[in-house]
Amino acid sequence: MAAQLRGLNVHDVTIQLHRAGRGPTVLFLHGAGGVPLWLPFFETLAEHHELLVPEHPGFGRSDDPAWIRSIPDLAMFYLDLIEEADLRDIHLIGNSLGGWLAAEILIRDRSRFRDVVLLAPAGIRAKGIPPGDNFIWGPEEAIRNLYHDQTFADRILAAQPDEMQMDVFLRNRFSAAKFGWQPRWLNPDLEKWLHRIKLPALVVWGREDKLLPADYAALWGERLPDARIVMLEACGHLPHVEHANAVARHISGFWQGVRS
């Protein structure tokens, strides 16, 4: 099933939106790497849902307005987008930077959301446990450190990106720095408001995550009012890539549990 890609304009900011499938709405918020590929995980989600995967302002081929300067700005932008598109009863999913963004959205206004899945979310940090530094890692190291199973990294490293893909890669990296450089991958004010996310939450983490240590999962579990934690063995920072089927099964079970 191919995803449709179209421009969506909110506040004179045009973003690119991938859309696939029919059914209840699932909004997937991507991480710092953007959406370089339509993932098998997306295919699975789109079987029974309408899946929306926007490219955040500053990422991919979306606009990069100067006034969006922080993840809280990005969260407010998405609240506007959701209101204008009149999305309701949304299943929200966010990975890494997108997980952070999901939490920033939900502490502000959770009224249009049904539940949330956080896949190795950034945004808070257990004191004394620093994240890995993907800004200082070399290009190969940065890819290898995302995965536990190195065959995923091997495939990416074997690909020869064309000039447009390189441009998007650089753009994503610039925006990742804008949002995540300092403080590194967190908003110090986020943690104290997580109790406002009064929604069922599923937090999924790879035990071997080299970017955001799996120790952070427990802190999310403590701060979110209704969270269950799934820890995946032999898994790095991108559980939905490395263990796509298992993650899709966990999510599906979580959604069914929420409904019943």
Partner 1 sequence: MKLVSFHLMPYRPLDLAEAARHRSAWVLLPNRLYDPVKGAEEYARHIDALVYAEHLGFDAIGVNEHHQTAYGLMPAPNLIASALIQRTSNVQIAILGRALPLVSNPIYIAEELAMLDNLSKGRIIAGFVRGIGSEYHSSGVNPYFSHERFHEAHDLITRAWTEPGPFAFDGDHFHLQYVNCWPRPYQQPHPPVWIPSQGSSETVAWASHPSRRYPFLVTFSSADLVARYHTSYREQARQYGYEAAAGQLGWACPIYVADTDSRARTEAAHAIETLFNDFLRQTFEMLMPPGYTSMNSMKNFIRMRSSLGGARPTADSLIESGTALIGSPKTVLGGIEKMRDRTGFGILVALLQFGVLSDALTRRNMDMFAAEVMPKLRD
| Binding residues for partner 1 (CB under 8 A) | 135-138, 167, 170-171, 173-174, 176-178, 181-184
* Three-class SS of 59-98: CCCCCCCCCCCCHHHHHHHHHHHHHHCCCCCEEEEEECHH
**Residue appearing with tokens 């049904």:** 114
Taking residue 60's Cβ as centre, other Cβ atoms within 10 Å add up to 20
Which residues make Cβ contacts (< 8 Å) with residue 208, sequence separation at least 6? 148, 214, 234, 235, 236
Residue 177 vs 234, nearer CB to partner 1: 177
The CB-of-170 to partner 1 minimum distance in angstroms stands at: 6
**Rounded distance between C-alpha atoms, residue 240 and residue 22, angstroms:** 21
Taking residue 226's Cβ as centre, other Cβ atoms within 10 Å add up to 13
The CB-of-134 to partner 1 minimum distance in angstroms stands at: 9
Residue 110 vs 184, nearer CB to partner 1: 184
Residue 59 vs 220, nearer CB to partner 1: 59
Residue 181 vs 222, nearer CB to partner 1: 181
E strands, the chain, where?
4-10, 13-20, 25-29, 50-54, 90-95, 113-119, 201-206, 227-232
The CB-of-174 to partner 1 minimum distance in angstroms stands at: 5
**Residue appearing with tokens 């990742």:** 176
The CB-of-197 to partner 1 minimum distance in angstroms stands at: 27
Residue 179 vs 220, nearer CB to partner 1: 179
The CB-of-141 to partner 1 minimum distance in angstroms stands at: 9
